[in-house]
């Protein structure tokens, strides 16, 4: 066990597919990390989970880190993540209930009484809560998933405006509680949690949580925020000079409205989302190689296969059925079609066509800002940036230089900044370290420009 580390931030990133616990020092260096798969159950068009099992997984991961690093060095904790659903918090001993998680939101969204909720995702989250309540459930309060985990650490019901906005509790534009949400939670016997600043201290580790995790009793726990805010914070994405391109289960693009907004951790803008794009690539890799591969290995397998084909994929085109617009919810999400197949086409051409199709999909979302700010720096982060071949292809398709962050998990860095700031510690980190600066290859970029122009002209001329 190492005892020679300085003050550390312990940060938790709870995602739809995995949970990661990371120790970060005051220089922005990742000291240690542990992760596990998010436990969910799928069936009959629904996705369910038992929230208390998320907490048990978190305690196991923290204890695993404690086997390598002395947890007495942890000076603060922050929790973030992306799971826009609401966890009903009942009395102690009654929290291990099944909760609907994001699936096909159109199948669960109940518009009645929720029309005043600003976002479609928020209406869906509240609709799922309403459906849960129809079974007679009663609550003390409701929390986003990351806030539920922090509640287990501290016993305090609280949230931040950005993450609460994604679940329909708060109007992010005004910072005010949404009346329809307050009315629904009140019907269930609870109250809207306190709305705190992302870097505010939201409580401290309780004796019970300390016994479960190995953390020190009284360790400060800050509010934290949603994954997009902390990802942009870690990438120091101050628009328009520096933009964040997050490559995960989906590809997201945007940042903060300038350096002041970044310093204050104001809600960042998400200018484009290619929803499910990374999941499509993992699916394709499993389909063409081995159905039992995990997402990372499946993605690398797809890149290996595509390397055997030339740019343009022998004329094969993959067209994802989705939208590159922020907040869009499409029928048939996760679908697509292959065009231009012939007996001359091989599996490697199809693999390359899928990658090129997703890259062109991402470009459609990036293009409007790229035209108005051609000198912007695009910082690629997330799991998809781990294999250099994907940022290289994106640079060719975008026709623009792509900077690959040295630390792919910028969400952990953003959470660590909040954790240190919330406890008054210095976080004057330098500009994010760069692993590579990928410049488009002129010949390949010209091919993709022709394809992009042809697709745009086809869309314009379609009836």
37-88 pLDDT tens trace: 887 776 665 667 788 888 999 999 999 999 999 999 999 999 998 777 888 8
Q: pLDDT averaged over the chain?
A: 87
Say yes or no to pLDDT of 326 above 50.
Answer: no
Contacts of 428 (CB under 8 A, 6+ apart): none
Q: Are strands 201-204 and 220-222 parallel, antiparallel or unpaired?
A: antiparallel
pLDDT at 5: 65
- Topology classification of domain 228-400+433-461: Nucleotidyltransferase; domain 5 (3.30.420)
- What pLDDT, on a 0 to 100 scale, did the predictor assign at position 198? 95
Q: What is the mean pLDDT of residues 137-158?
A: 92
Longest dimension (CA), the chain: 67
Domain with CATH 3.30.420.40 in the chain: 8-225, 228-400+433-461
Q: What mean pLDDT do residues 228-243 have? A: 94
Which residue would you say has higher pLDDT here, 110 or 28? 28
pLDDT for 111 equals 45
Does the structure show a pLDDT above 50 at 267? yes
Tell whether domain 8-225 is in CATH 2.60.40.10: no
- Gap between the Cα atoms of 97 and 142, Å rounded: 13
Look-up of token digits 């401290």:
204
Of 101 and 11, more confident = 11
Residue 356 vs residues 257, 277, 319, 375: alpha-carbon distances, Å:
30, 11, 9, 24
The per-residue pLDDT for range 167-225, each reduced to its tens digit, is 999 998 888 999 999 999 999 899 999 999 999 999 999 999 999 999 999 999 999 99
Task: For Cα atoms 358, 43, 131, give the angle at the middle one, nearest 5 degrees.
Answer: 100
For residue 138, the model assigns a pLDDT of 81
SS3 19: strand
User: Cα separations (Å) of 72 from 107, 152, 210, 358?
Assistant: 47, 20, 11, 45
Categorize the per-residue pLDDT at 143 as very low, low, confident or very high, splitting at 50, 70 and 90. very high
For 398-429, the pLDDT digits (tens) are 999 999 998 889 999 999 999 999 999 877 67
């Amino acid at each position: 066990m190492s005892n020679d580390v300085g003050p550390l931030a312990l940060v938790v990133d709870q995602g739809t597919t995995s949970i990661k616990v990371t120790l970060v020092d005051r220089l922005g260096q990742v000291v240690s990390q542990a992760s596990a798969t998010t436990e969910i159950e799928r069936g009959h068009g629904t996705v369910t989970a038992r929230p208390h099992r998320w907490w048990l997984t978190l305690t196991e991961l923290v204890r695993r880190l404690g086997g390598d690093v002395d947890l007495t060095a942890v000076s603060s904790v922050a929790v973030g993540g992306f799971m826009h659903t609401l966890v009903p918090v009942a009395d102690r001993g009654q929290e291990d209930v099944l909760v609907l998680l994001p699936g096909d939101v159109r199948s669960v969204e109940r518009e009645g009484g929720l029309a005043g909720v600003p976002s479609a995702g928020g209406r869906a989250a509240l609709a799922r809560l309403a459906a849960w309540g129809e079974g007679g459930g009663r609550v003390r309060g409701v929390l986003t998933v990351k806030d539920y985990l922090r509640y287990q650490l501290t016993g305090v019901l609280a949230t931040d405006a950005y993450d609460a906005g994604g679940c329909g509790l708060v109007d992010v534009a005004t910072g005010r509680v949404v009346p329809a949400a307050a009315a629904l939670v009140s019907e269930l016997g609870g109250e809207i949690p306190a709305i705190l600043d992302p870097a505010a201290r939201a409580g401290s580790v309780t004796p019970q949580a300390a016994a479960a995790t190995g953390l020190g009793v009284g360790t400060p726990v800050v509010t934290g925020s949603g994954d997009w805010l902390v990802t942009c914070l870690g990438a120091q994405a101050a628009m328009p000079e520096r933009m964040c391109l997050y490559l995960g289960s989906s590809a997201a693009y945007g940042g903060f409205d300038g350096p002041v907004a970044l310093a204050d951790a104001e809600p960042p803008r998400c200018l484009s989302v290619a929803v499910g794009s990374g999941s499509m690539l993992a699916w394709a890799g499993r389909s063409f190689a081995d159905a039992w591969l995990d997402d990372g290995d499946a993605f690398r397998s797809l890149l290996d296969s595509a390397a055997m084909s030339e740019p343009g994929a022998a004329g094969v085109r993959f067209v994802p059925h989705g939208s590159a617009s922020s907040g869009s919810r499409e029928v048939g999400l996760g679908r697509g079609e292959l065009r231009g197949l012939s007996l001359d086409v091989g599996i490697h051409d199809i693999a390359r066509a899928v990658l090129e199709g997703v890259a062109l999909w991402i470009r459609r979302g990036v293009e409007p800002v790229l035209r108005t700010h051609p000198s912007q720096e695009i910082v690629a982060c997330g799991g998809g940036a781990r294999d250099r071949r994907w940022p290289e292809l994106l640079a060719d398709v975008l026709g623009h230089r792509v900077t690959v962050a040295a630390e792919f998990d910028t969400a952990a860095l953003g959470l660590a900044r909040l954790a240190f700031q919330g406890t008054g510690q210095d976080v004057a980190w330098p500009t994010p370290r760069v692993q590579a600066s990928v410049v488009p290859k002129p010949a390949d970029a010209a091919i993709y420009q022709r394809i992009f122009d042809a697709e745009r002209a086809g869309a314009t001329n379609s009836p």
